[in-house]
Amino acid sequence: MTKTVGVILAGGQGTRMGGQDKGLLSLGPHTILDEVIGRFTPQVDQLVLNANGDAARFSHLGLPVVADSLGGFLGPLAGVLAGMEWARAQGADWVATAAADTPFFPRDFVSRCQQACLSGAPIALAATADTEGVWHRHPTFGLWHVRTLESLHQALVDGLRKIVRWTDAEGGVEVRFDSGAIDPFFNVNTPDDLAEAKRLLDHAP
């Protein structure tokens, strides 16, 4: 598989955390973003951050910051699109995306998605099972071929917000991850979630 750019999706408005950048919240001795970057960097060839507003607030990270190319806070799909546009300009064929508020995601996330796409699928989304054994995909955690860029752009312009509906139409596949003792895709949305993440930090694989 050719060059893969990792895109950290930090373009949300953080409304349930008082409008803060969730990734910049402290988690132990570091921030949530520090944990995400530490897990993501070894899995990709290059790492960028998708964020809107003043990019200077992330300057200490030393990463390129790419804003949504479509206005109106259209959700994580807009961040995926911006990442694909940036990656294609760098000559990359693939984009892997991870949410900026999910500090415990799998260290083999990208490699397992790459394996799933060897069959020719242009998109792979991570999935985990709930307590009843029903599998649910995590659309912010995926591997995306840049050949789907124009289709994604048009879907957003047309008002599509359901990521899974679009990925199914594009021939996407799901990659199933074991939840284990800690949900690998646990994300921090509220102050209670942040407290739970701090509790889990020392036990995360």
pLDDT score recorded for residue 14: 47
Q: How far, in whole angstroms, is CA 143 from its chain's centroid?
A: 9
18 confidence band (pLDDT: 50, 70, 90): very low
For residues 71-75, give the mean pLDDT: 75
User: To which H or E segment does residue 33 belong?
Assistant: helix 32-40
Give 3's DSSP letter. Answer: -
pLDDT score recorded for residue 175: 98
The dihedral region occupied by 141, where left means phi > 0, alpha psi between -120 and 50, and beta the remainder, is beta
Residue 1 has pLDDT above 80, yes or no: no
Distance in angstroms (rounded) separating the CA atoms of residues 58 and 54: 8
User: What residue ranges do the domains of the chain occupy?
Assistant: 4-203
Residue 12 has pLDDT above 80, yes or no: no
For residues 144-155, give the mean pLDDT: 96
Q: For 4-203, give the CATH class.
A: alpha beta
CB 84 within 8 A of CB 6: no
pLDDT tens-place string over residues 175-205 = 999 987 889 999 999 999 999 999 999 888 8
* Average model confidence (pLDDT) across the chain: 91
For residues 45-69, give the mean pLDDT: 94
Using only C-alpha atoms, what is the Rg of the chain?
16
Give the phi and the psi of residue 140 in degrees, each rounded to 5: -80, -10
Retrieve residue 77's tokens: 């799909």
19 confidence band (pLDDT: 50, 70, 90): low
